[in-house]
Amino acid sequence: MYVTMMMTDQMLELPPLLNGEVPMMHHMINGDASQQVILVQVNPGETFTIRREDGTLQCIQGPAEVPMMSPNGSIPPIHVPPGYISQVLEDNTGVRRVVVTPHSECYPPSYSPALSPTHHLPPPYMTHPHFIPASHTAYYPPASPGDVPPHQYYQHRLPPIYPEEIIPLYNMSTFLGREEYCKPQPKKPKERPAERQSLSRVSTPPSSSYKSGPACSATPNGYGKNHAGTAATGGGGGSPGNKRAERRARGSPKQTESDQQDPDLDARRDQDVPSGMEKPQVCKIQARSALVSWSRAPVGASGRGQTDGAPLSCSYELLLADKSCDGKYRVVYSGEELQYTLTDLRPATDYHVRVSAVCNSVKGPHSEARAFTTHSAPPETPLPPRLSHRTKSSLTLQWKPPVDNGSKITNYVLEWDEGKKNSVFRECYFGYQRHFKVMRLCPAVGYTFRVAALNDIGPSGFSPEVVFHTTGSLPQMPLAPRLLQAGTSWVALEWTRPSGCSPDEAVTYTLEMQDDSKGPEFKAVFSGAELSSRVEGLSRNTSYRFRLTTCSAEWRSTPSSVLMCRTSPDKPGPPAAPRVSAVTPHSFCVAWDPPQDDGGCGDLTYLLEMSEGNPEAVSQWEIVYRGPLQEHVCKDLNTATRYSLRLSSNSSGGHSQYTESLLVCTLSLPPGPCRPVTIQGSVKHREVNLQWEGPAHDGDDESLVYSVEMSGSEEESDVMQVYHGAHTECTVGSLLPGATYRFRVRAANDAGYGPFTEFLEVTTAAGPPGQCVVPVISLTSHTCAVVSWETDESSGADISGYRLDWGRDQDSLEMVYSGTETFCEISNLEAAASYCCRLQATNQAGAGPYSDLAWCRMPAAAPEAVVNLYLQEPVSFPAEGETFSPSTCLALAWDEPNSNGQEITCYTIAMGDTVITAGNTTCHVIRNLQPDSEYSVQVRAENAVGAGPFGPSLRVRTRPLPPAPPRLECAAAGPQSLKLRWGDSNSRGPSTDETTFILQMEDRNQRFVPIYRGPSHTFKVQRLSESSRYTFRIQAVSEAGEGPFSDMYSFTTAKSVPPTLKAPRVAQLEGNACEVAWENVPPMRGDRISYVLQVLGGRESEYRQVYKGEDTTFQLFGLQWNTDYRLRVFVCRRCSDTSQELCGSFSPSTHFSPRRSNTTVAVEPGTVSTSTPKALTDEQFASLIVLGVASLSIFIAYLLQLLI
């Protein structure tokens, strides 16, 4: 609560209302110069109670200012609660204020002789005042918390017990300055809302600023925190950043009531302490900067600029506060300059600045706060858009709105590079939505996007570019795997996670291996999520190639570069068992094969060891050979002696195991001659059985073998071995019937061969004929062939007949001839078919073997008839240059007939008397036919041999012509819609109810998109822009097909009617006047807006216009007391292009009745002053009836529109 005392001798001009809603009470001044008016300011949430002369109590709710009379010109004593003090502040004009603030222990209390602690209020001031707090909610300071630096500080110490009639007052921390009380009324009605808004911003701190704090934080100019932790903001709050400095500079020991003040000390302190500074001035306000200037600070009680003749050194501290810092002040400048440019400000933000002076290390009080608001600016650069969903052909993007910097964001611009990666961006979306789905994209392709925001000030910068891939997009190629360790049959590899994958994305790895022995392709050997793998089952000392592929649920990368690694060699296996050859009495040759497992190393050496005697009794092995060869001749051996051999292999991988021991025995002397060869049994036509006896002295030698040789009957014929073995008999087969052969035999042992016996001549018996020569086939026509052959007499007997088998292949051969002739004619064969035959001869001994197959192919013939002819849809045919119309075209197709061995060159289509030649294709489109006509069609095939016969005829019919497009008309045009209608199409055929219409509209890219498809003849296009031109076209579709598109039609939407305003607000002024205010409507698409105010008063039956203009307030004078008035307003739009004026509907009316009032209690403007309910007047009842009829008419019109 604040008590302001002013010396007056005339009527005072009351200060403006705190918030435009609290009226002032009339001053009760009788013109006596000794009287003073005491203004008691009641804060919001508090109650001020006055006891009147008749004993009744009157409660005044805050915020309000209550004027009181001081009969003797002195300030009444104010009782304060514990922890509070009352201070008397006086400015240069003589206006004094009593401010009740929390007591701070940081400043010493000083008492004035004029004010001493009291415990009651004298009767001349008021009777039993009660200060009743309404609640303990957060405190809101008054409208303008500016103050004048005090010259003296008064503190009142209170006793611990209050009188019964005194109730403590809480939540009192700030006061109104003199400038606000003395400020004149604004002249222009336009500026009042702005001033009130500015006052509201200065006086209303953010809700976050009301926090608990220490009680010792009061500032010298009376601003501080109360006991509940309430902090003043704007220009009235102390800077939190300077709390400690102020306490160190201004703190003093605590004093009691008995402490005495030193007058000389106070005088010296007043000379050194700088006086309060004036409000700083703010100019050149921009969106992010402002220039603040201030005047020099007066120093001392008399305002001198020097102390003891020395020049005064003053510096200044500029403090800045805004709502984002919880209303706390921070020092932004400290120096001796008188101006400072604030930078890095936020657009459209309320700021408060104040300044203080520091002279000779003594800091003065803060000045009043100056409030200013930075200009609006384009929005901040938004964050990059984020991906909410993606498919193979679309990306759904979302973005968050950036800071609008004081102007509402109207649109967003989304640009992309169309996947070209050329840093050239194009617009893909423009609108107010914060999400967009980009369609018709390519799979596995990355697209770059950026977004910007627009408001009425301008566009923001584009967000950082971001790349999104459609489904299947490939990350960067992974690095090649690394070799950890290699073994003889395994390798261990590891790899790293690709850099382009997010940490939470599930990635699997596929390791592929290429083995030269299995081909050049890579095969997968591992697949999983691990970052290492061990590949088993490899070959020793072998090179392998590995590569890595990464994949997830949506993509698969390209293979990495190839890693080549080699396994370690292993020790070889033992060689194959050695073989002994060329055994002689004194030597033999040992040979061996390399080991099956060489350990992976091809460079092998062999170690051959030999020992004489039985291998079980061998005690010492002797190395007889070491080297890479696989054969060795052991020489200088004893005759008929046993030797043991063993072999091993060596390589860089190690030494193999020895082979099993091989026992070798040297030879003795060769055997003697055998007994002559004899025939055993009868001689057959194909074989003969021979028998002989071994040498006489070597008959018991187990190593004897025999060799039988055969030659022809001539002396010089070749000799060939027919038997070699240990038996003394054998059977020689595969002989020719009736032929003469000679045979001889010899024996052999380890030492060599003995001599041959004499030749034995043997003649075989006669047998069946031999194999015939391949017959010869001669073709006489495409259905007849002649087969001939020659006689073979080599079987030893005369041929009695021949057998000829004929067929398509060897499995289907059948006998077609049997006799003694050497030729045969075969007829009724198929054209262009392959046949084979074989021949067999017979005699008295039996049938001979078949000859080899003889093959032939019959010549080609004309094609067969086309039997399957049918109609087919045109979509099944390859794309042609001309369009297909079912009304004038027929799409024929048929199955390819048998070509009879010659490729079909063309087809002939017969349609009545018309013959059409088609190429080597099984489909054809016949054009230029009559609509809705029937035709008979036949097709035949032709090849190089000739033309085949026509196939069965097919009767077909063409379809009717498709419908023509109807004429498009605009039935009704609204500001956001166009209602289109069209008639029946001028069809060249009979119209049916199944006709469908396709309506298309041209978009921003000059492409036509369908917006309606159906049988209706009307359609309403919604969500259009006002006064805009749109282009349409229409197409009719029926069973006959799709008709052509109509010509393009253009229609324009109408202009929008201004909106309906809310009921105007009415505030009664002094006398019989009132002020009417209504809400502001921004310009509509550049058209100017004006307002029309109408009034209905008294017994008038019609509203009369009292104002028309662009202002949002108007003052009415000369109103009649206690008369009901109704006010309403509507908006008019002046079209700049057509000079047409569009008027909106009337706002709801506001009821107002001017009344005389003898009290200054605040009332709510625009509300009825009487609280008793009133009956409806005749005018009100009539208005209700008219409103009901109008509403019913609108509803019926809406139903009719829907039915149409």
Place of tokens 């001035």: 281
Other C-beta atoms closer than 10 Å to the C-beta of 515 total 17
Of 170, 126, 190, 138, the C-alpha closest to 1 is 170
- Asked if residue 156 has pLDDT above 50, the reply is no
Q: Is 984 contained in some domain?
A: yes
Lowest mean pLDDT among 60-64, 705-709, 794-798, 1138-1142: 794-798
- Say if residue 1196 is exposed, middle or buried (CB neighbours under 10 Å; 0-12, 13-18, 19+): exposed
pLDDT digits (tens, 9 = 90+) for 517-539: 888 899 999 999 899 999 998 88
Whether 587 and 689 map to the same domain: the answer is no
Q: CA 1164 to CA 247: how far, in whole Å?
A: 45
Higher per-residue confidence, 989 vs 1098:
1098
Q: Is 709 contained in some domain?
A: yes
Q: Are 369 and 146 in contact (CB under 8 A)?
A: yes
Average pLDDT, the chain: 77
Q: Which tokens hold the place of 502?
A: 């997010």
Average pLDDT over residues 88-113: 51
- pLDDT for the residue numbered 363: 87
H or E stretch covering 1041: strand 1041-1045
**Which residues, 6 or more positions from 347, have their beta carbon under 8 angstroms from its beta carbon?**
287, 288, 374, 375, 376, 377, 405, 406
Lowest mean pLDDT among 293-302, 457-466, 819-828: 293-302
Q: CA 708 to CA 688: how far, in whole Å?
A: 13
Lowest mean pLDDT among 46-50, 234-238, 364-368: 234-238
Whether 461 and 487 map to the same domain: the answer is no
Other C-beta atoms closer than 10 Å to the C-beta of 657 total 14
- Say if residue 1027 is exposed, middle or buried (CB neighbours under 10 Å; 0-12, 13-18, 19+): middle
Higher per-residue confidence, 1158 vs 198:
1158
Average pLDDT over residues 471-488: 79
Of 896, 951, 902, the C-alpha closest to 923 is 896
Could you list the beta-strand ranges (E) of 76-204. Answer: 84-90, 96-102, 127-133
Whether 122 and 209 map to the same domain: the answer is yes
Whether 48 and 103 map to the same domain: the answer is yes
Domain limits for position 559 = 482-566
Q: Is 672 contained in some domain?
A: no
Q: How confident is the model at residue 699 (pLDDT cuts 50, 70, 90)?
A: low
- pLDDT for the residue numbered 752: 80
What is the torsion angle, in degrees rounded to the nearest 10, for the CA atoms of residue 966, residue 967, residue 971 and residue 974?
Answer: 100
Question: Of 763, 790, 817, which one is at a domain's C-terminal end?
Answer: 763
Whether 845 and 898 map to the same domain: the answer is no
Q: CA 69 to CA 548: how far, in whole Å?
A: 97
Question: Of 469, 504, 528, which one is at a domain's C-terminal end?
Answer: 469
pLDDT digits (tens, 9 = 90+) for 731-743: 999 888 888 899 9
Average pLDDT over residues 318-334: 85
Q: How confident is the model at residue 488 (pLDDT cuts 50, 70, 90)?
A: confident
Q: Is 904 contained in some domain?
A: yes
- pLDDT for the residue numbered 912: 86
Higher per-residue confidence, 1159 vs 593:
593
Whether 226 and 282 map to the same domain: the answer is no
Whether 54 and 137 map to the same domain: the answer is yes
Whether 64 and 209 map to the same domain: the answer is yes
Q: Is 671 contained in some domain?
A: no
Whether 135 and 189 map to the same domain: the answer is yes
Higher per-residue confidence, 944 vs 113:
944
Average pLDDT over residues 904-930: 91
Q: Is 26 contained in some domain?
A: yes
Categorise residue 64: left if φ over 0, alpha if ψ from -120 to 50, beta otherwise. Answer: beta
Q: CA 221 to CA 354: how far, in whole Å?
A: 12
Sign of CA dihedral 1189, 1191, 1193, 1195: negative
* Residue 810 DSSP SS3: helix
Categorise residue 1041: left if φ over 0, alpha if ψ from -120 to 50, beta otherwise. Answer: left
- How far is residue 666 CA from its own chain's centroid? 89
Backbone angles phi, psi at 747, to 5 degrees: -100, 155
Average pLDDT over residues 1155-1167: 48
- pLDDT for the residue numbered 470: 81
Q: Are 134 and 47 in contact (CB under 8 A)?
A: yes
- Asked if residue 506 has pLDDT above 80, the reply is no
- pLDDT for the residue numbered 248: 35
Other C-beta atoms closer than 10 Å to the C-beta of 283 total 10
- pLDDT for the residue numbered 965: 92
pLDDT digits (tens, 9 = 90+) for 985-1002: 444 444 455 789 999 999
- pLDDT for the residue numbered 700: 61
Higher per-residue confidence, 23 vs 43:
43
- Asked if residue 99 has pLDDT above 90, the reply is no
Whether 36 and 126 map to the same domain: the answer is yes
What is the torsion angle, in degrees rounded to the nearest 10, for the CA atoms of residue 825, residue 830, residue 833 and residue 837?
Answer: -30
C-alpha Rg value of the chain to the nearest Å: 61
Place of tokens 């200054």: 1160
Q: CA 774 to CA 849: how far, in whole Å?
A: 12
Other C-beta atoms closer than 10 Å to the C-beta of 222 total 25
Q: Are 459 and 378 in contact (CB under 8 A)?
A: yes
- pLDDT for the residue numbered 754: 87
Helices (H) and strands (E) in the chain, counts: 5, 79
Provide DSSP, 437-457: EE-SPPTT-EEEEEEEEEESS
pLDDT digits (tens, 9 = 90+) for 396-443: 999 999 999 999 999 999 999 998 888 899 999 999 999 999 999 987
Higher per-residue confidence, 230 vs 339:
339
- Asked if residue 591 has pLDDT above 50, the reply is yes
For residue 355, the 8-state DSSP code is: E
For residue 274, the 8-state DSSP code is: B
Question: Of 665, 697, 724, which one is at a domain's C-terminal end?
Answer: 665
Calculate what percentage of the chain has a pLDDT beyond 90: 39
Lowest mean pLDDT among 148-152, 699-703, 1038-1042, 1178-1182: 148-152
Whether 67 and 201 map to the same domain: the answer is yes
Higher per-residue confidence, 123 vs 597:
597
Average pLDDT over residues 23-27: 37
- pLDDT for the residue numbered 383: 96
Q: Is 1058 contained in some domain?
A: no
Average pLDDT over residues 458-477: 82
Calculate what percentage of the chain has a pLDDT beyond 70: 70
Average pLDDT over residues 936-945: 92
Average pLDDT over residues 632-661: 88
Q: What's 1098's domain CATH number?
A: 2.60.40.10
Q: Which tokens hold the place of 449?
A: 């996007």
pLDDT digits (tens, 9 = 90+) for 799-828: 888 999 999 999 999 999 999 888 999 998
**Cα 277 to Cα 237, 274, 466, 794, 1031, distances in angstroms:** 16, 8, 54, 148, 68
Provide DSSP, 216-244: ----TTS----TT-----TTSSPPGGGHH
Average pLDDT over residues 1071-1094: 92
Whether 76 and 122 map to the same domain: the answer is yes
Q: How confident is the model at residue 86 (pLDDT cuts 50, 70, 90)?
A: low
State which amino acid sits at residue 616: E
Q: Is 477 contained in some domain?
A: no
- pLDDT for the residue numbered 229: 35
Q: How many domains does the chain have?
A: 10
- pLDDT for the residue numbered 25: 36
